[in-house]
Every structure is written in structure tokens, then in C-alpha cells.
Amino acid sequence: MNRPKLRKYQAHKWDEPLLMELSTSGERGIHVIKAEKEIKELIGDIKDLIPEKIVREKKPNLPELSQPQVLRHYLHLSQMVLGTDVTIDIGLGTCTMKYSPKIHEQIAASSKLTEIHPNQNEETIQGILEILYKFGEIIKEISGMDAVSFQPGSGAQSIFLNTSMMRAYHEKNKDPSRKEIITTMFSHPTNAACPATAGYDVLTLMPEENGLPSLEALKEMVSENTAGLLITNPEDTGIFNPKIKEFVDTVHNAGGLCIYDQANANGILGKFRARDIGFDMCHFNLHKTFSSPHGSMGPACGVVACTKEIAKFLPSPIITFDGDKYKLDYNRPDSVGKIKGFFGNIGVVLRAYSWVMSLGAKGLKEVAEISVLNNNYLEKLLKKIKGVSVPYKTDKKRLDQIRFSWEKMTDDTGVGSYDVERRMTDFGLQSYWTSHYPWIVPEPFTPEPCESYSLRDIEYFASVMEQISKEAYENPELVKTSPHNSPISRIDESVMLDASKTALTYKQYLRKKGKENEKT
Amino acid sequence: MKKKIGLIINPIAGLGGKSGFKGTDNIEIKNQALKMGYSSESISKTRYVFENILSLFNKFEIITCPGEMGEEAIKNLDINYKLFEQTFKKNTTSKDTKKAVKELLKENIDLLIFAGGDGTAKDIYEIVKDEILCIGIPTGVKIQSAVYAKSPKLASEIISRFILNKTYSTELREVMDIDEEEYRNERIKSKLYGYLKILFDKKYVQNIKAGSISSKEDQKLIAHEIINLLDQNIIYIVGGGSTTKQIFNELKLEKTLIGVDLIQNKKILLKDVNEKQILEKIKNNKAKIIVTIIGNQGYIFGRGNQQISAKVIRKIGKENIYIVATKKKILNLKGEPLLVDSGDPELDKELSGYVKVITGQGERLVCKVGVEE
């Protein structure tokens, strides 16, 4: 490996007040022009347009600021943090961070998209309906499924939708007593949380020595109570479950359905299809695998795909094509209903469509191949670092990501994964992702070097980890008191447990500070 | 205010390890190890812990014994310490540990730090029960008790958080040691002696970002789940432990911490029962079992709940056993299977396989139950 020179990062530091505290009564960002006489006569008083039951009794307490003030405020905040385009995002594993080409932003910002309204007559939005329909066809090809919906606004919402469709399926089949869902410890935790929210009991299979859930355990757990299996593959460990077909068959034989969480499909894109091994439903996070800015940097969209047996339960509307016109079909009596307004976040669909069209089928396979190659190179580099280990023995290569452990270093030096996470920002790297809860791998970290990172990026990431390990063994305090170049170093995290010290709204904040009467 | 910290070292714990003996409970082994030239790891490891927190010297005071059982590890370090008068002869024993703990109790200490192994933890437990906050520095050979920090380095981290009044938490943790009665019959078997109140790193505070909750909150959720599952008229045979105790807390009932209680219709039927009493009560009544897992070990049956004997388990049936545990406890087993030692090898085999452990509301972890070799 070429040891790249480690960069030094220094964030700006502003003593930035809250937006509410910057407010000056009477200041305005824009003056809304008065409606012209003719419009007024036609529409009437604007106040009469608002239904009485939702009219506010009192004006809301909103901050009053000019445009430059607002701009300064948010730019100050942005100067104090690392963002996706100024750093290497390799550390944020399971999030599938990749470069999202700027041209797609321009396409999504086109007035052809931004100026249409979902309540427009479908005759007048044939263009976007065509894109939604055609991208649906592409997703069917990628998953092997028969029907799709772009409605969910996130991966979790996709899983919740799939769970709801599973419930509708069992109810339709007069089999509603199936109350148990089976998932695995290393599947994304929403695979447990969504069915729990939907009222199911959730059985979670633990990983065995090889890091994989046991087929024997599954066989002992399935019964006439089994509603279905929700599973990720490869799981967070990056290990592909070679017995996945047996898992699916076991659940099917017990009368349950199988739902494949493919939120992150980067390692298997074009290589492995959910339907081909018998899954009934799956979903992809378009904002992850299919490239859209995400993680508080943009809206999300989860596309759900299912077999024709499940299709009637999809949310309405679905988009149909009669060879001439694209139509919205709302007449679907078995639909589970809406999971989000209108057709979903179509800006994300448009970006994803652009991404796929620019790559083509061959390109999608290449995405998977480079991701896996990148990950195996990173593993080779990280394994050499003192204090790093790769839990679970497998004879196969990992796919797109790996959950590593700093356990040895923590036992030796007291420097844990959260300390490393903070120290890395001093070298200009965004904090990495440790692990989903619970921490089954001690002191974990989960990098995921997707296809858009270069050899140099990967080596830079590994060099920073190597440097921090060296520091931990030589001067642990340096790491434990980091970050040193950020506007805020460490906060007392115990306040997070103390409801009297946290506030979700400005009103709460004033009340808890005892300033209630100063400003309401 | 300065924290008052008591310190007790079992200077001979750990000697057995390097010298190839398993533990130093036996005085002969201890002497042999010393003769072979092995020095006390307890003292050096304890010294290492204090070296790590020297910068906090003005925030705490140590009260300890003269000589090997304390002073030796901290003298010449920049630490304020006070010795109590009792002196101990060279070859310290379990009796000396207990005597020293009694002395420390007179001093109103905020925290008791002890270095040693299972025997040491047991001696401490016999005197302090769960009344004083403790933390163990692991120096013994094969530690089974859940009362020790993971490494001396991590012990110093936890202790410094305590001294600085930073976030830390406490938990009742198992004290396990060799069952002396079985040992006299030439069988080696561990036994649950009780629970110490242990200081531990509130790692979960950091994990809050990932949506975790504390063990105590987990225990409450488990208690609610169990209470929802309780049926009319069925007798519930409830094993000991802090997780099952929480069920009783929620029902406003008093639980025997190391012992088995019977409840029926959310009321106590009989407290601290033996096998005979259980069999008598369930002779003509449907019954179910509620047990938890022994921390660090994974025992469901046969440690601390022998009253729920093979006979009782057979009568009640595998399908009527609820196992409850916090996720943290299961993860601490690091993938090792749960264990049963009912005294009946045939039954142990029948109980092996996969079980659902209740870890919260609507939450079950599927864990393997192994057969002890």
C-alpha cells in the first residue's frame, strides 16, 4: 500500500445562536405581493379558503429573519460539519454511500419535474408516469418480481409495507392466527422493528460461529404461527448466506411468506435475484444502491417489489400502460391502502432511473464487482492494523462490507470504537458507522467502500485507522479527548438520558430553561 | 467531595494460572506456586489500575490493608491512602479477606475495589451482600463470576468515571464459585452464591444513538411481557435473579433473590420453596416455570435454582418453560450456548436444541441450549 499523506482538517467554529434567537420582529425574507383585483374577485378572501377546523387561533411563533440572515445562519452551520462532498464516506457502512453524479441533480431540478403537481390530470403528466413505469420494469428485471410500488419514503417504510402486505395475504387466506415473524440478528433491525410495530411477535435468530444464522434453529422455530421471514443477505457482516434457499423453503413449507431486505444490494446487483430463490417480496433503497444523496442530505425512496400473488395488496395507485397511455389505477379493493402521499418521492426515482440508464445492465454488474473488490482490498489493509480483528470465520470472501472489531485495542488501551470515530474527523474523514444495536460484535466499525471510491481513497481510510491505532497504543489520551479540530469536542452524553435537559421544540426549550415568559 | 474507596487484594489469586495449577484455593498449591518463583499478578495488576488514574489523585482517598492485601500495590504512587490497623500474616487466606472487608465497612466507603478471582468475590459477598457498590479487578485464573471488569485497563476506566461522577451505572451481578459440597465429593461444579452490586461502564449511554436502552429498562419490558402472559390459576415457579425479581417488583411482590418462589393469580403462593414443596403444590395444579440465565455462564437450570429439579421439569414439560433475559446478558455469553444441568443427563439432552428467550415485549431471541460435556 502507498501510505498517503494524512490530511489535516480544521472546522470553522461559530457561536451560532438558534434561529429563533436571531429573530427580529417585523423582519421579512420576502414580501408576498397582494393578489390582483381580478384574482381576488374570482377566488375571494384567502382566509375563506382554509377550512375552519384547521385555522389557527393564534399566529404561530415563527422566527422573523431576512434572506441574508437565514443564508448566513445555515452556511455557518454547514461550515462546522463534514459533509458528503468534502470527505471520503467509506466509513459509513450499511449506508451504501457512493458518489451521486451532479448531472442527475440537474435532471431532478428540471422545471419539467418541479413544476408538476400530483393532482394534475394523468393526461398531462405522461412523461413522469412513463419514467415511473419504465423504471418499475427495470426493478422487476433486477428482482425477478412481477409488480412494484415506489410509494415508501424510506427503507423502513418499505419493510413496514411488505409486512402489511404479508398480513393482508394471511387475512385474505383466512389464516390470520399467524403471529410470529422470524428474522436474524445481523439483518437490519427494522426487520424486527417493523413487524413489531405491526403487532407481530418477533423471533430473532442469533449468529453461530460462522457468523450465519442456523438453519436448524429456523427449522425448530417455524410452526403454524409463522407469518413470515424477514431477512437481509448478505447480512451486516458481509457474509452471504449460502443456505438462503433452504431458509426460504423452510418458511414456505410452514405456510409463511419470505421478505428479502435488499435495501443495500450493492454486492449482488445483477448477480442474484430475490425471486429466483423463491422470495415473495423484496425492497431496494433507491437512495442507497441506486445512488441518490441520502442520510439527511436528501429525500429517500424505497421501491417494493413482489410476486403476482401479492401484487393486489400493493398500495394505490399503481401505474399501468395500455400500449398507448400511462394510467393510474386506484380501483384495487385488496390494497393495504396508502403508505405515503401520491406516488412517492419521484425526484429520487428520477435520479435512480438516470443512474441505471447511464450504466446499463453490464454497468450494474460492474458496480457489484468493484464494490466487492474494493471491500476485499480494504479488509486486507485493515487486518494488518494492531488491535483490529474480523469476527467470524468463513471460508468465503465477504461481499460489500465487513463488521470489524477494535475489541483487542479497547482491552489493551481503553480506546474504544467511539473514540476512533471521533479522532478520524481530525484527519478529515467523516465519522464512521459502528454497528446497529445491539453491539453483538464488540467495539465495532463497519466500513463499506462502494464502487465510486478509488484505490487512493481506500488507502487513505486504512492509513487513518492505522495512525489512530498507533496513537491509541502510544498516547491513548490523544484519541480519548478527540476530536481536536471540530467546533465541539465532547459532550456529556448522560444528558441524553435526562429528559429535563433535552428539548424537542423551542417552546420546550424555553420552558425547561425557565424562560417561558420571555418569548411566546 | 473526595470519594472514599476501599481496596482489598487477594495477593495469591492468579498464581495458579502461570504455574499451571487451576486456582489457588488449596494452600499447598499456593505455596508450590510461590516456591516456583511466581509473583503476585494481583498486586501488579492492581498497581496498573491505579497508575492509570493517578491524575485524579486529589479526588479520591484509598482505605486499605497494610502489606500485600492492599498497600503494596499503591505505595510510592502519588495517591492518598489510609491503612487500618489490622495486620495480616504472610500467607493470607479467605478468613483474612473477610476480616479486612469488615474493617472497611466501618469506614463508610463509597466504593469497594477488590482484586482476585471467584473465591475472592465469594468472600466479599459473604460480608457485604449487595449493600456496597463494588468492582473487581480480574486477576484470578478462571473467573466465572460476573463481578469483574473485562480487563484491568477497563477497570481503571470505570473507576475513573465513578471518581469524576461521570455516567456510570450499577447492576446486581452473579458471584459464582466452586460448589464446596460437591467438591468434597470430588465433583467440580460451580454454584451461584449470590449477587454483588457492581459498578459498570454505562456503555449503553453511548449506544443511545443507536436506539438502545438500559438493562433496567429491558428488565421492565420483560416483566410487562411476562405479566401479560400470566394465566388464571396456573402456578408459576419463578427462579432467582434480578430479571425475575423485576417481575415481582412490577406485581408489588417480594422476591427471594437466590431462591425459588411460587406465585398464583399474581399473588405469592409460597416463598423460597424446596423441591418437595414445589412437587406438592403442583401435584394437582397446572404449572409453568419462569427462569433467567446466569450471567457469563448461561445456565438456565442447575445453578441457583436446583429446587426446580429434573422431577419438577419433567412434570411441567419443556413447552411450559419461560426463559427471560436481557439482550445484554445473552450477548455477554459471546455466542456460547445456554446450559442445563438438571442432574438428569437424559433430561438435559431433551432440553437441548433451540429455545425462545423472552427479551422484551413481543421480542424473543432464539438461543441454542447445549449439552454440557
- State the average pLDDT for chain A: 93
Amino acid at A256: G
Domain boundary among B208, B239, B274: B208
Q: Tell me, what's the pLDDT at B90?
A: 67
Q: What is the mean pLDDT of residues B52-59?
A: 90
Q: What is the mean pLDDT of residues A19-46?
A: 90
Q: What is the pLDDT of residues B74-100, one digit of tens each?
A: 998 888 899 987 766 666 788 888 999
Instruction: State the sign of the Cα–Cα–Cα–Cα dihedral B26, B29, B34, B37.
Output: negative
Both B204 and B227 in one domain: the answer is no
**Is B217 near chain A, with CB under 8 Å?**
no
- A111-357 placed in CATH 3.40.50.720: no
Q: Tell me, what's the pLDDT at B294?
A: 87
Percent of chain B with pLDDT strictly greater than 90:
50
Percent of chain A with pLDDT strictly greater than 90:
82
Q: How confident is the model at residue B237 (pLDDT cuts 50, 70, 90)?
A: very high
Is residue B267 within a helix (H) or strand (E), and if so which, with residue range?
strand B267-270
State whether B167 and A497 contact (CB < 8 Å): yes
Q: Where are the beta strands (DSSP E) in A194-348?
A: 201-205, 226-232, 257-261, 281-285, 302-306, 318-321, 326-329
Find the closest chain A residue to B369 by CA distance. Answer: A217
Determine contact, residues B301/B342, Cβ cutoff 8 Å: yes
In the predicted model, is pLDDT for residue B207 greater than 50? no
Q: Tell me, what's the pLDDT at B204?
A: 39
Q: Tell me, what's the pLDDT at B303?
A: 85
State whether A497 and B205 contact (CB < 8 Å): yes
Q: How confident is the model at residue A341 (pLDDT cuts 50, 70, 90)?
A: confident
Q: How confident is the model at residue B62 (pLDDT cuts 50, 70, 90)?
A: very high
Q: How confident is the model at residue A161 (pLDDT cuts 50, 70, 90)?
A: very high
Percent of chain A with pLDDT strictly greater than 70:
98
Q: What is the mean pLDDT of residues A263-279?
A: 95
Candidates A202, A437, A441, A490: best to mutate against B (most CBs of B within 10 A) is A437
**Is B211 near chain A, with CB under 8 Å?**
yes
In three-state form (DSSP H/G/I as H, E/B as E, the rest C), the secondary structure along A100-129 is: CCHHHHHHHCCHHHHCCCCCCCHHHHHHHH
**Is B55 near chain A, with CB under 8 Å?**
no
Both B186 and B326 in one domain: the answer is no
SS3 A409: helix
Q: What is the pLDDT of residues A206-246, one digit of tens each?
A: 999 999 999 999 999 999 999 999 999 999 999 999 999 99
Identity of the highest mean pLDDT range in A382-391, A489-498, B14-23: A382-391
Q: What is the pLDDT of residues B295-308, one digit of tens each?
A: 878 899 988 888 99
Question: Who's near B183: CB < 8 A, 6+ residues apart?
Answer: B189
Higher pLDDT, A438 or B247: B247
Identity of the highest mean pLDDT range in A189-203, A290-304, B164-178, B180-194: A189-203
Q: Tell me, what's the pLDDT at A271?
A: 93
Q: Tell me, what's the pLDDT at A297?
A: 62
Q: What is the pLDDT of residues A42-92, one digit of tens each?
A: 988 888 888 988 988 888 888 999 999 999 999 999 999 988 889 999 999
State whether B202 and A494 contact (CB < 8 Å): yes
Q: What is the pLDDT of residues B336-355, one digit of tens each?
A: 899 998 888 899 999 999 99
* Cα distance between residue B293 and residue A484, in whole Å: 43
In the predicted model, is pLDDT for residue A112 greater than 80? yes
CA Rg value for chain B? 22
Question: Who's near A166: CB < 8 A, 6+ residues apart?
Answer: A227, A228, A257, A259, A280, A281
The closest CB to that of B153, out of A203, A220, A413, belongs to A413
End-to-end CA, chain A = 60
Q: How confident is the model at residue B177 (pLDDT cuts 50, 70, 90)?
A: confident
Residues of A in contact with B365 (CB under 8 A): 185, 203-204, 206
Cell readout for A429 is 474523514
Q: How confident is the model at residue B203 (pLDDT cuts 50, 70, 90)?
A: low
Write down the architecture of domain A369-493 according to CATH: Alpha-Beta Complex (3.90)
Residues of A in contact with B207 (CB under 8 A): 437-439
Structure-derived torsion over alpha carbons of residues A510, A511, A514, A518, reported in degrees to the nearest 10 = 50
In the numeric block, the cell 474504544 is attached to A416
In the predicted model, is pLDDT for residue A276 greater than 90? yes
Q: What angle do CA B68, B72, B77 make, to 5 degrees?
A: 165
* Cα distance between residue A446 and residue A93, in whole Å: 5
Domain boundary among B180, B208, B236: B208
Q: How confident is the model at residue B216 (pLDDT cuts 50, 70, 90)?
A: confident
Q: Tell me, what's the pLDDT at A438?
A: 84
Determine contact, residues A421/A406, Cβ cutoff 8 Å: no
Q: Quick one: which of B160, B135, B179, B152 has its CA closest to B304?
A: B179
Higher pLDDT, A265 or A342: A265
Q: How confident is the model at residue A408 (pLDDT cuts 50, 70, 90)?
A: very high
**Is B52 near chain A, with CB under 8 Å?**
yes
* Cα distance between residue A302 and residue A260, in whole Å: 13
Q: Quick one: which of B226, B184, B197, B212 has its CA closest to B130?
A: B197
Find the closest chain A residue to B210 by CA distance. Answer: A437
Q: How confident is the model at residue B212 (pLDDT cuts 50, 70, 90)?
A: very low
State whether A216 and B354 contact (CB < 8 Å): yes
Domains A111-357 and A369-493 share a fold: no
Q: Tell me, what's the pLDDT at B16?
A: 57
Domain boundary among B208, B226, B243: B208
Candidates B354, B361, B368: best to mutate against A (most CBs of A within 10 A) is B354
Q: How confident is the model at residue B211 (pLDDT cuts 50, 70, 90)?
A: very low
Determine contact, residues A275/A298, Cβ cutoff 8 Å: no
State whether B362 and A439 contact (CB < 8 Å): no
Q: What is the mean pLDDT of residues A142-171?
A: 96
In the predicted model, is pLDDT for residue B27 greater than 90? no
In the predicted model, is pLDDT for residue B285 greater than 50? yes
Q: Tell me, what's the pLDDT at B21?
A: 55
Q: Tell me, what's the pLDDT at B93?
A: 82
DSSP one-letter string for B205-227: HHHGGGT---HHHHHHHHHHHHH
Both B228 and B366 in one domain: the answer is yes
Q: How confident is the model at residue B210 (pLDDT cuts 50, 70, 90)?
A: very low
Domain of B24, in residue numbers: 3-208
Domain residue spans of chain A: 19-79, 111-357, 369-493, 494-520
Both B94 and B150 in one domain: the answer is yes
In the predicted model, is pLDDT for residue A139 greater than 50? yes
Q: Where residue B183 sits, what CATH number does that domain have? A: 3.40.50
Residues of A in contact with B166 (CB under 8 A): 492, 494
Q: Tell me, what's the pLDDT at A343?
A: 86
Amino acid at B339: L
Both B9 and B90 in one domain: the answer is yes
* Cα distance between residue A405 and residue A446, in whole Å: 9
State whether A201 and B150 contact (CB < 8 Å): no
* Cα distance between residue B221 and residue B296, in whole Å: 22
Q: Tell me, what's the pLDDT at A520?
A: 43
Q: What is the pLDDT of residues A242-267, one digit of tens each?
A: 999 999 999 999 999 999 999 999 99
* Cα distance between residue B172 and residue B192, in whole Å: 13
> Domain total for chain B?
2
In the predicted model, is pLDDT for residue B22 greater than 80? no
In the predicted model, is pLDDT for residue A1 greater than 80? no
**Is B166 near chain A, with CB under 8 Å?**
yes
| Residue B91: count of CB within 10 angstroms of its CB | 13
Higher pLDDT, B312 or A438: B312
Pick the range with the lowest mean pLDDT from A272-281, A291-300, B363-372: A291-300
Both B174 and B294 in one domain: the answer is no
Residues of B in contact with A214 (CB under 8 A): 354, 368
